Amino acid sequence: MTIITPRRALLAGLAAAPLARPALAQAPWPNRPIRIVVPFPPGGSNDVVARPLAERLQAKLGQPVVIDNRAGAGSVLGSTMVAQAPADGHTLMVTSSSFATSSIVQRTSYRLPEDFEAIALLARSPFFILTAPDFPPRTVQELVAAAKANPGGIDYGSSGPGGINHFITEYFCLRAGIRMNHIPYRGMPPAVTDLVAGHIKVLITTVASANAPAREGRVNLLAYTAPGRPEGTRPAPTVREAGIDYEADIWWGLFGPRGLPPEVTARLNAAANEALADPAMQRIMAGEGARPAPDTPAAFATLLREELARWREVAQAANIRTE
């Protein structure tokens, strides 16, 4: 007969129990290269912002940061990739205001803003309001008067139906109480060419797209759509200073998939804001007509929600849709 003592029972229990496995330590972030998706072709304004940012993030984070241009479907293709990526801080996206407008007029497999983490607002820039050299109005008020005298009879251009230029021009029309006729182009360069030639009469576009003809006087510069006149541009009032309750600009920002750890979001935001303070980075942005706009993730998320609400209202009022 075996007598089971308390000590013997304890030893038997320990022998039968599975050995506890030590907890696996999570590798510190970042632990491999970081990919920044740009959902547009190489060479555009998003590239101009993303590439110098990537260089500076690489130096600050100690891992390679590579740019991956994934153009298609008006930025939806690349945005979808990011929305579906693991929320581990190794897949990010740099995009612009068209991120908001595209989600309103196109079917997407993601939800905005729910499926993305707003990390850092990077830059902002006003648009030009330009008119053809043979078009008589030389002020915003004269343009409004001409449009009211000829409803729907003045042609304006855009980079395509449902694009940011389409939205901001229709927003201007709504705020001014006028109607103009939309002429969509395949991109902004042919629209600028036709404005210079007088084939269209009005164009609201980015500084980078039309600074040369505006500076050289080959088109008329009536106003800027927001404060913050970029370096190297001609003086002109803002639309609000000209008497119309209107303000709109283009912005660029850094996003990630929804669910990024808060500490990763905070570290990326701090690194991006430090990069924006670099004078060399500021000079690069100035060439795009943009100025650095560092902010917190919470403030950037609020801006995105406000933009979505505004552009949804504009799309409904002006019946904006892709054609």
Q: Which two tokens stand for residue 75?
A: 């930025």
Q: Which residues does 1 contact at the CB level (< 8 Å), separation at least 6? A: none
**Count of CB atoms within 10 A of residue 218's CB?**
16
Would you call 182 exposed, middle or buried from its count of C-beta atoms within 10 A (0-12, 13-18, 19+)?
A: buried
Three-state SS annotation for 299-321: HHHHHHHHHHHHHHHHHHHHCCC
Nearest to 83, CA basis, from 254, 297, 258, 264: 258
Q: d(Cα 227, Cα 222) in Å, to the nearest integer? A: 14
pTM: 0.87
Q: Say if residues 100 and 304 touch (Cβ distance below 8 Å).
A: yes
Q: d(Cα 38, Cα 233) in Å, to the nearest integer? A: 27
Q: What is the pLDDT of residue 288?
A: 86
Say what percent of the chain tops pLDDT 90: 82
**Count of CB atoms within 10 A of residue 194's CB?**
18
Q: What amino acid is encoded at 132 in this protein? A: A
pLDDT tens, per residue, the chain with 323 residues: 444 454 454 444 444 444 444 433 457 899 999 999 999 989 888 999 999 999 999 999 999 999 999 988 878 999 999 999 999 999 999 999 999 998 999 889 999 999 999 999 999 999 999 999 999 999 999 999 999 999 999 999 999 999 999 999 999 999 999 999 999 999 899 999 999 999 999 999 999 899 999 999 999 999 999 999 998 899 999 999 999 999 999 999 999 999 999 999 999 999 999 999 999 999 999 988 999 999 999 999 999 999 999 999 999 999 998 75
- In Å, what is the CA distance from 127 to each residue of 3, 68, 155, 157, 186? 91, 27, 18, 14, 19
What is the three-class DSSP state of 6?
helix
Q: What is the pLDDT of residue 75?
A: 87
